[in-house]
Amino acid sequence: MEYKKAANDKLIAIAGNPNVGKSTLFNNLTGKNQHTGNWPGKTVTSATGYFQTALHSYILVDIPGTYSLMAHSPEEEAARNFLCFGKADAAIVVCDATCLERNLNLVLQTMELVPRVLVCVNLMDEAKRRHIQIDLANLSENLDVPVIGTTARDKKSLYEFTETLDQFIDSRKQSPLCPVTYAPPLESALAILEPLLHKKAHGALPARWLALRLLDTDSELEKEITTYLGQNLSSDPAVCQALSEAWSLLAAAHIQREEMQDLITTGLIRRAEQIYRCSVQEDREYARKNDQKLDRFLTDRRSGYPVMLLLLAFVFWLTITGANYPSRLLSHILFSIQDLLTRLFYLMNAPAWLHDVLVLGAYRVLAWVVSVMLPPMAIFFPLFTLLEDSGYLPRIAYNLDHVFCRCHSCGKQALTMCMGFGCNAAGVTGCRIIDSPRERLIAILTNSFVPCNGRFPTLTALITMFFAGSALGLLSSIGSALLLTGVVLLGVLMTFLTSWLLSRTVLKGIPSSFTLELPPYRKPQVGKVLLRSIFDRTLFVLGRAACAAAPAGILIWSMANIHLGSSSLLSLCAGFLDPVAAWFGLDGVILMAFILGFPANEIVIPIMLMAYLEESVLTEPGSLLALRELLVSHGWTRLTAACTMIFSLLHWPCSTTLLTIHRETGSLKWTFLSFLLPTAAGLILCFLVANIARIFL
């Protein structure tokens, strides 16, 4: 539910840089009492939570992590706008104790904007481990705002935090009006504007902050300010006159308009540096030597890439071997429920056709998708989140940044590509972290070139049956993982190639630079990682796939049971596609299975079985040996398996992913192109492999 502010509730914004523990603090304070949604008009996630102390009740808003309020991305814009126009009673700025100097930049910007600020220095345990000593009293004196040290992971440390928050709210202490002193020419210009803007804004926004923004000339922010104040300050004659005087003064000091943001940033950085030197003592050599040694190994091109490949193969091996038993168990449970549903329909005297459509069609396909999809996701997503929580994932983005820049795209695409391994729809949503609209589109259009969790069962089964089946036990699973890694590398190479082609054709442009923070290595919180990955990712993705699988089950059952003459509609369609599919090393049944598997890739192999055996319901494959014999008896060879694997890797995204692409881009054109690109790439590659093999083999 969304919280409505009562008369006595205090609305508090929680701000901070990414990776400072802001959300951990929020979650530990609010527990399960939180609401997640999107900012109005933006695809940026917000979270709202409620908690009470002995003295007050609070509504917390966890605004997006940002390095600056000089907005250059949707996240930064959403964070700034809430602090500006959200009418919060106060703001808590969460800082990382291990890199406090950089965090102070955001603290100072927030103090310029928000009248009441509380600074929370988090990760004090990490600072102690790195021999960093922070004088919190001195820091509070220099900032002239309350400062509290916490370890947000440890709920016990939050007792002192809540007491300090209550005292802060009761004290009514205001932040200093001028937390930063800028260069003398800029201060003189501000002195001209501030008194006038104080009268014009009637105290709704700080006059000094308004003066800085007018000089900074951010047109988008000016529109927001005009809407909020109900007047356009830039067009006011008195303000225009004052601005003209201010710019004349700045021009006399040889300061140009395009230099204004740099001048403001320089003032903030210098003040942050002064405060840091007064308040922090750090043994830099001790603090960084271990991380530097590890970074030299993990980010060096000679060692970094092999480590990434071995880690990828290890994750796939764990996913493949770990998912087999729970998948069989879940399948047994779900198909046992099917028998109960059949009895229920019998007791209700329901028509046979209704039972067949809903139970043998919709439910059977749904049960198959859940049993095949859930166990691998329940393994892969926690592993992915552990890598993210430990600090290794940003190192992967750092390693691949050079390659993506050569493709004229953004290094952040590496992170969204990694998310695509779990689910392409989640990867597409993750593209929001890319600031440039052009580069965001490239990342969205190419995300489905890496195989999602739904394609792994097909790829793994074909690899095991036709290429790694001669090995036994552990060797077979390791061989399957290595071959699967090779297939994934093909998808990554196609991502690079397609990104390069798009950046040279329909999405021309120069790659943008971005600041990538390499956070310190941390011991992952395994319990929280498991909960977050299961509830926020696994069940969310599974729910969307299930919504598509049930209607698909009805369609598949209908095609298998509607007959024209002696053949089912499914067989007739497969026969019609057979000549075309042969050009690409496939057959009509394979192509038809992929078409009907559009809602969920997990059901491709069961549909093949259904068509080959001419069954009226979705069929379980049984053992891989029996499945291989069935496929070989219908003309399959290693070439057929290879082409099917290529097409499984490179074909249209599933319905869930396409719907997500349309929601993110708001364009049918880009949604269609995201359908066309991988499909064309897969068909071309299959055609080349099939015909070259026929010539030489």
Position 350 pLDDT exceeds 70: yes
Confidence of residue 318 (pLDDT cuts 50, 70, 90): confident
For position 582, what pLDDT does the model report? 92
Quick one: tokens of 475?
Answer: 């060797």
What is the secondary structure of 628-691 as a DSSP string?
HHHHHHTT--HHHHHHHHHHHHSSPPPHHHHHHHHHHH--HHHHHHHHHHHHHHHHHHHHHHHH
Position 500 pLDDT exceeds 70: yes
Q: Are strands 117-122 and 90-96 parallel, antiparallel or unpaired?
A: parallel
- Tell me the mean pLDDT in the region 573-589: 91
What phi, psi does 518 have (nearest 5°)? -100, 95
Whether residues 366 and 416 share a domain: the answer is: yes
Which of 152, 126, 147 minimizes the C-alpha distance to 135?
Answer: 147
Quick one: tokens of 350?
Answer: 């329901």
For position 145, what pLDDT does the model report? 92
For position 270, what pLDDT does the model report? 92
Position 24 pLDDT exceeds 70: yes
Whether residues 376 and 435 share a domain: the answer is: yes
Placement of tokens 């399957």 in the chain = 480
Confidence of residue 72 (pLDDT cuts 50, 70, 90): low
Q: Determine which of 10-24, 214-228, 262-276, 542-556 has the lowest per-residue pLDDT on average.
A: 542-556
- Tell me the mean pLDDT in the region 57-70: 87
Where in the sequence is the domain holding 74, given as residue range(s)?
10-171
Q: Determine which of 340-349, 538-547, 576-585, 609-618 has the lowest per-residue pLDDT on average.
A: 538-547
Distances (CA, A) of 377 to 96, 318, 395, 430: 32, 11, 23, 17
Whether residues 376 and 323 share a domain: the answer is: yes
For position 446, what pLDDT does the model report? 92
For position 41, what pLDDT does the model report? 39
Position 678 pLDDT exceeds 90: yes
For position 95, what pLDDT does the model report? 92
For position 45, what pLDDT does the model report? 60
- Tell me the mean pLDDT in the region 163-178: 83
User: Is 142 in contact with 149 (CB distance < 8 Å)?
Assistant: no
Q: Is residue 459 part of a domain?
A: yes
For position 537, what pLDDT does the model report? 63
Q: Is residue 532 part of a domain?
A: no
Confidence of residue 287 (pLDDT cuts 50, 70, 90): low
- At 624-639, the pLDDT tens digits run 677 788 888 888 999 9
Coil, strand, or helix at residue 91? Answer: strand
Domain count across the chain: 3
Whether residues 210 and 339 share a domain: the answer is: no
Among 129, 144, 171, the domain-final residue is 171
- At 108-129, the pLDDT tens digits run 999 999 989 999 998 888 888 8
User: Is 600 in contact with 654 (CB distance < 8 Å)?
Assistant: yes
Position 69 pLDDT exceeds 50: yes
For position 33, what pLDDT does the model report? 46
Please give the helix or strand (H or E) that residue 36 lies within, else none: strand 34-38
Report which DSSP code applies to 448. Answer: G
- Tell me the mean pLDDT in the region 32-41: 43
List all residues 6 or more positions away from 159 whose beta carbon is below 8 Å from its beta carbon: none
Whether residues 100 and 33 share a domain: the answer is: yes
Q: Is residue 289 part of a domain?
A: no
Whether residues 250 and 342 share a domain: the answer is: no
Which of 96, 69, 88 minimizes the C-alpha distance to 80?
Answer: 69
- Compute the mean pLDDT over every residue in the chain, rounded to the nearest whole number: 82
Position 34 pLDDT exceeds 60: no
User: Is 599 in contact with 552 (CB distance < 8 Å)?
Assistant: yes
For position 376, what pLDDT does the model report? 73
Confidence of residue 615 (pLDDT cuts 50, 70, 90): confident
Whether residues 479 and 619 share a domain: the answer is: yes
CATH code of the domain covering residue 39 = 3.40.50.300
Q: Is residue 275 part of a domain?
A: yes
- Tell me the mean pLDDT in the region 126-154: 87
For position 510, what pLDDT does the model report? 65
Q: Are strands 117-122 and 147-149 parallel, antiparallel or unpaired?
A: parallel
- Tell me the mean pLDDT in the region 596-611: 80
Dist. CA 590–CA 604, nearest whole Å: 8
User: Is 605 in contact with 461 (CB distance < 8 Å)?
Assistant: yes
Confidence of residue 329 (pLDDT cuts 50, 70, 90): confident
Whether residues 158 and 188 share a domain: the answer is: no
Position 39 pLDDT exceeds 90: no
Quick one: tokens of 245?
Answer: 């005087």
CATH code of the domain covering residue 273 = 1.10.287.1770
| Angle ∠(299,304,307) on CA atoms, nearest 5 | 140
Among 171, 201, 226, the domain-final residue is 171
Whether residues 557 and 443 share a domain: the answer is: yes
Whether residues 488 and 383 share a domain: the answer is: yes
Which of 551, 585, 550, 591 minimizes the C-alpha distance to 570?
Answer: 591
For position 646, what pLDDT does the model report? 94
475 half-sphere exposure, CB direction, 13 A CA radius: 6
Distances (CA, A) of 521 to 7, 21, 123, 531: 43, 14, 13, 21
Which of 112, 106, 307, 284 minimizes the C-alpha distance to 206?
Answer: 112
Position 474 pLDDT exceeds 60: no
Taken in order 183, 189, 195, 196, the sign of the CA dihedral is negative
3-state DSSP of 575-632: HHHHHHHHCCCCCHHHHHHHHHCCCCHHHHHHHHHHHHHCCCCCCCCCCHHHHHHHHH
Distances (CA, A) of 197 to 146, 180, 208, 246, 565: 28, 19, 8, 13, 83
Determine what percent of the chain is predicted with pLDDT higher than 70: 86
For position 1, what pLDDT does the model report? 38
